Structures are given as C-alpha cells and as structure tokens.
Amino acid sequence: MPSTHGATTPEVSSTPHSTAETASQSTSMSHPVTLVPLSTSSTDAAHKTPFTSTSASTAGTLTTAAPSTTTVTQATTKKLCSESDCDCNGAPCVYNETSGQCQCNCPEFTEGKNCINGQNETTVVIDKKTVPTRNVSVSLSINKSFNSSLTDPSSDLYQQYVRMIKPELERLCRQASPQNFKQVIITGFRNGSIVTESLVTYNYPNQDSEIQYLNNQLVAVLNSILNDTTNLRNLSAAVNAPVNLLNTTGETPAITNVTELKPFVDKCSLNYANYTIEVVNESLTCVGPCGRIADYCSYKGSCYNQPQGAVCMCFVSDFQQYTGTHCELYQRTAGFYGVLFGVLGAALLLLIVLIVAVIILARKRKGPWNSNALHPRRWFSLDEEYFNFSHTDLGTTASASEGVSGRSGRYNMGDNLMFSNEFTPGVFKPNLENVDTSLDVRTKRPELMPSSDQ
C-alpha cells in the first residue's frame, strides 16, 4: 500500500508578537515603524504567520519568516504474480493493472487463457549455416604498380590492401540487397596494375520474390552501383589511387525457388505436434492441423492446436450437441425432448378443447323437432296449408260413426297444382299413374291422448 511521510511543522525564526504589542513598541522607538502588508492565500489563512520584529537600528521594518515546504512521498507497490495464479503452461504470469488480475503473458505464436493453444501458422527456423548463398564475383582495377607481396595473403601489404578496400566495398554491395547481404571476401590480388578479386555473398531469404531478385536482377543492380562515379571516387580515396570496375559475374544460382529451402528448415518456431511445412504467401510456413484441414472438426466445433495435436471443442446448445474426436457424432439433448413433448402435449390439449367446443355448439344449434322446417330433399310437407283440399272432393269430414275422424274423398295429384313447384330434379317424386285413385284413403290425424295416470 502506498505509504506517506509525516508533514514537517513550519519553524519561525523568532518569538511571535501580537499586533497590539507591535503597535505599543512602535511608540517607544525613536524611528517610526512601517508595517508591511502580507498577502495571504488560502493556505496561509490556515496557518497564521506571526510578525517578527527587528532591532531599532533597522528602521523599524517588520519581517516574516518564510514557511518551510512540506514534502509528501507516495510509494507504489506492484503486485507480483506467481505461476500458481495463472497456470500459463510455462509462460510468465504478470499483473494487469487495468483489470486488476494476474494473467498470462503468452509467448509468440501461442494464445488462449493458459497460452496452450498454438496459432495456425508459425515461422520456420532455417539453418543459415547450411543454406547455399547467392555469390557474385567482383573485379576491381587499382591503378598502382603490382607488388609480388600481394600474392601472399599473410603479408603485411596484402592485409593492408584488404583493410583499405573491403569496408568501402561492403558498404556499396550492401546497397544492392540490404536485408540479404552477408559479406565480402577478398579472394586475392593479381598483376595488371593491381586487380582485386572479391566474392560478394548474399543469403537466400525465405521469400520467393526475393530469391528471384537475387537470381535475376542482383548482378545488374550491383554493376550499376559499382560503376557509379561517386562510388568509384570513394573507392579511389580509400586506396589513394584510381579504381575502376572490371566486371561483376554471378555464379549459377544454388536455390531457384522457395520450395528448395525445405531441406534446410531446422524446426518450426512452435514445437507442437502435427505441424507441417507449407508454402504460404511465397514463404515457407509451419501450418498446424487446424489451419491445414478446414473441416478437422466437421464444421461442428472449434479446432485448437495443442502440444499433443489438434483438439476439437464441439458445439453444444440447449437442443443438440456434437461429440467425437472430430465432432462427427450428433445427438439430441434433454432440452430438445422437453420442448418436443411440451409442444405435442399442448397441441393435444388444444385439439381436445376444439372437439368439445364443436360438440357444445352443435347441441345448441340442434334444438327441438320442427315439423315446419322443410328439408330440401323431402317430397312431402305437413304444413297445414297443404291439407287445403278445397279444390278436391276431400272437403267432407268423415263422421265418427265411420270409425275415423278427419277428411275423406278423392285426391288428384295432377290437379293439385300446389305441389307443382315442390319437386326438383334429383328429388324423389312419387309416380301415381298406376295408382287406383278410386280407392278411398283416409288418414287419421294425430291426437294428444291423456295419460292413463290422469
């Protein structure tokens, strides 16, 4: 926790006097005393600074003691996190001041809460000691008399010329490909004034376009640089003699494309299982199984590259889930069946309610039997108006002595025009042509008989 130091109390240089005492003393002095007004700030108001008086010989001027400065120091303490606080798979565990928690500081190409998941692509580590280089021979002519000592690499004159020309030649050759330049080797001197033979080497990079540049364009670019007037003047100044470029010759390329660098790959930057070397964006790249196989988890889960190999985290929802090494298995969850049976139960209940409602409505509409409600397919009617036999000889009423009560006589269907519109096609119509109409037909009308209990 931050700690603070106690504030020091301001010290006064002399004994304080009140204003009244100062005024009384001014009357006894031979010289008038001048009061100097003090400007007070909000801080000064809290701390009253007393006046101090000098001797009479100081013309009675009042002075005040300067308040001392209060210094407060706050010490901040940064929380330290241990490996047990994070479980970072070997990565450092650090304190995040923003979140106020310990978290893993994952190294390059790893990710996740515990730094155990590898990225889909990592760089390759190429053994540069074994990779062939792109070599260009450069010949320079120094306009000086040749000395036989220059044929002996161990001679002082030989080493002297190497020290004079090599630094400047390296500076110029580096300009042709700064990121791939390796070194300049002085291979010797020969007669013809002084002809300097050198070998300029460049590393083949893990980039196909750069490899093509070194093989196809480097010699021309290097030749242009070394033929530049200013650069030749600098070379001449280095050896104190005029220097001219004789030729630049490229050797046969040892590497023609980036794929030929595979044998020189030492390892992947992330030492996880099942990473393979692939050409990605013109470069050799270590690709994990999750990046190399798009459907590793059957598109039904998330794939994670881990030290022992790829691991699938299958999708799970309230209604279904996927299982298996590659999430290839599928099954319904209890939530799905709960919803299914719930819906079926609700549908069945609704069907029952509808059936009951239909039955109730049907019974309400049916009501008592009405003889006057004519069915469209009936061929007869019992309405009283159809028993109007005034136009027939059925108008007489049978006497009770005849055994029947009601009307008697003959009825002719053909003459009864009242029924002419009663029958429509497809409706039963009696055919009475062969019926003996001379027979007397008597119908007893229904009567309401009293109950035997009454």
The domain tally of the chain equals 2
Identify the pLDDT of residue 309. Answer: 94
Q: Would 440 be classed as within a structural domain?
A: no
User: pLDDT-based confidence at 442, cuts 50/70/90?
Assistant: confident
Q: Would 62 be classed as within a structural domain?
A: no
Rounded average pLDDT over 37-56: 41
Rounded average pLDDT over 264-273: 94
Rounded average pLDDT over 110-135: 94
User: pLDDT-based confidence at 69, cuts 50/70/90?
Assistant: low
CATH number at residue 159: 3.30.70.960
192/96 same-domain check: no
* pLDDT tens readout for residues 231-261: 999 999 999 999 999 999 999 999 999 999 9
209/246 same-domain check: yes
213/152 same-domain check: yes
Identify the pLDDT of residue 172. Answer: 96
* pLDDT tens readout for residues 185-210: 999 999 989 999 999 999 999 999 99
Identify the pLDDT of residue 221. Answer: 97
* pLDDT tens readout for residues 311-361: 999 999 888 899 999 999 988 877 777 888 889 889 999 999 999 988 888
Name the residue range of residue 102's domain. 83-115
Identify the pLDDT of residue 78. Answer: 64
pLDDT of residue 87 exceeding 90: no
Identify the pLDDT of residue 299. Answer: 93
The residues that bridge with 392 in the sheet, in sequence order, are none
Q: Would 398 be classed as within a structural domain?
A: no
Percent of the chain with pLDDT over 70: 66
Q: Would 142 be classed as within a structural domain?
A: yes
Average pLDDT over the chain, rounded to whole? 77
Identify the pLDDT of residue 324. Answer: 92
pLDDT of residue 76 exceeding 70: no
93/200 same-domain check: no
Q: Would 26 be classed as within a structural domain?
A: no
100/144 same-domain check: no
162/241 same-domain check: yes
User: Helices 218-226 & 229-239, crossing angle to 10 degrees?
Assistant: 60
